[in-house]
Structure 1
Amino acid sequence: MDLARIARHPAHPGIMRVMLRLWRDYLGPRWDYWPVKAAVSYALPGKTGNLYRFDGWQKAGACKPWAGGGTWSKPSKANAMADGIKSVFVYEYPSITTS
């Protein structure tokens, strides 16, 4: 899931929370290629991640800035924000047991 790129725009400051909930509660559980056990996203550098924590996501760690290595892509603009380190958040879906 890369909703951070899709839903984050200054003209629509509240849409990110809506998109995260839509994915978490509706789209993720309906993924039919394999069972979804968790959703993963990240808070941009310099952000606290409260948007995720308030909705039941858990901080899983940090992601260092992209260092390159390919000739087809450019460094992320997020590298220039704050310290460039993004916080990774995970929402684990409850286990479904059948009897």
Structure 2
Amino acid sequence: MPARWRMLVTKATKPSTGYPLPTLTDGPTLRAAAGSLLCLMLVTLLGLALATLLRDTSGAITLGLGILYIVPVLSNTLASPTWQHLSEIERAPGYAERPPSPQG
């Protein structure tokens, strides 16, 4: 049984794909870690600002989640060609945009 534990530890510490393990000194890894940290800090500051402005926990949580989740979904939906095609109003033949004004 001890040989099995040694094998599992070796598999867990050695990458089996043949690629070296990423370290924080690598450029892309450092950039990803810094970007994740920046995103987390900005979300934290957004939550703090909303809680300070609203002074209500449930309102700040609701508005914060609305900003973080609903706004991107709506912006992607409204910008998609499918939504723009569906949002065009098809008018009946002979439909006037607006009646002529009596002043001319």
Task: Give the TM-score range, shorter chain.
Answer: under 0.3
Which structure has the bigger radius of gyration? 2
- Please report the TM-score for the alignment, with normalisation by the length of structure 2: 0.26
Q: Which has the higher contact order (CA 8 A, sep 6+)?
A: 1
